[in-house]
Amino acid sequence: MANQKIALVTGGNKGIGFEIVRGLLQAGCRVYLGAREAAKGQQAVAELADAGDVRFLEVDLANQATLEAAAAHLRREEGHLDILVNNAGINVPGDGSPVNADVRSVEQALQTNFLGTLAVTQAFLPLVKQAAAGRIVNVSSPLGSLTIVGQHDWALLGYSASKAALNMLTVQLAFELKDTGIKVNSAAPGYTATDLNGFEGSDTPAQGAAEAIRLALLPTEGPTGTMSSSEGVLPW
């Protein structure tokens, strides 16, 4: 299909990422499922094979060589990238309140969730710029909102700080690309039952994926530089 959208979803082998891949396949996209472990990525691709054209791509946020190799592969195979969904992220043991959080754990959360996502974005942005109307979606969290966290007793300093930094990437990149057809937004899945929280969330992964899918498929008149959930725009 000449007009088929090409998408890449990082951390696509499980949880919310897996459902984002499924949703984009159902929307008719060809989806590259990014995962750092080949066996798990290939297994996820096999599970989704009946849903559409899905392909595995090694993407490890902590390994720059995999990002460069993946970008080179997409450049050869597709020549552009319509949709980049930065979904991969971690929750680190030892994270906690500012009083008791392990500094190394906070550093690890920032390294993966923010710096790793920045590295992915920089690696694939040239391909997104080649698309007719690129979309970049950063999977964030209400825990990355200074306004919302200020009203709750949520003591995960590293994770919250990493998602707040990710939101800053959304805002600054959206502004930098405002004169292009590219839209950059943060999607907040909500309290979703995944291994990130010990499967304690109240929403299903499919529910958690819905907003990222919507933002990935935004029409021309859609917003840029926002954070939203399925309930609407959220404050920074």
**How far lies 149's CA from each of 122, 126, 156, 164, 190, in Å?**
29, 34, 10, 10, 13
Lookup: tokens for 30: 């060809």
- Find all residues with CB under 8 Å of 186, minimum gap 6, and list them: 137, 138, 139, 140, 144, 166, 167, 170, 226, 227, 228
- CA 176, chain centre distance (Å): 19
Active site annotation includes 159: yes
Catalytic residue among 56, 114, 124, 159: 159
**How far lies 228's CA from each of 36, 66, 85, 136, 138, in Å?**
27, 30, 15, 14, 11
> Whose CA is closest to 32, among 40, 43, 23, 21?
21
Residues pairing with 56 in the sheet: 33
Active site members = 159
